């Protein structure tokens, strides 16, 4: 398994979600928990503690849960 973690991808992911740019660090701190927690846990934290909307978290989920073959993944991103 190869995990992609790049600042520009994270910036774009937050921007596409519609979340305020000043929430970037708190969003990333929640997403970093995905190694130990489920998406449901992280999503709840993002909404209840970090102030994101359900719609914002649904967009973020598409990015952080994306899995596939390397070349297909690259073309999708």
- Predicted confidence (pLDDT) per residue in 20-33, tens digit: 999 999 999 999 99
Q: Quick one: tokens of 28?
A: 């990333």
Model confidence at 74, in pLDDT bands (50, 70, 90)? low
Tell me the mean pLDDT in the region 56-72.
85
* Lookup: tokens for 64: 């952080």
| Continuous H helices in the chain | 7-17, 24-31, 39-48, 54-64, 70-76
The pLDDT value given to residue 63 = 86
Model-wide pTM > 0.85: no
The share of the chain scoring above pLDDT 90, in percent, equals 62
């Amino acid at each position: 398994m190869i995990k992609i973690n790049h600042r520009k991808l994270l910036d774009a992911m937050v921007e596409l979600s519609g979340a305020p740019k000043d929430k970037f660090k708190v969003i990333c701190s929640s997403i970093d928990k995905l190694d130990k927690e489920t998406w449901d846990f992280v999503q709840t934290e993002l909404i209840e503690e970090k102030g994101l909307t359900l719609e914002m978290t649904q967009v973020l989920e598409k990015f952080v849960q994306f899995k596939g073959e390397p070349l297909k993944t690259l073309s999708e991103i």
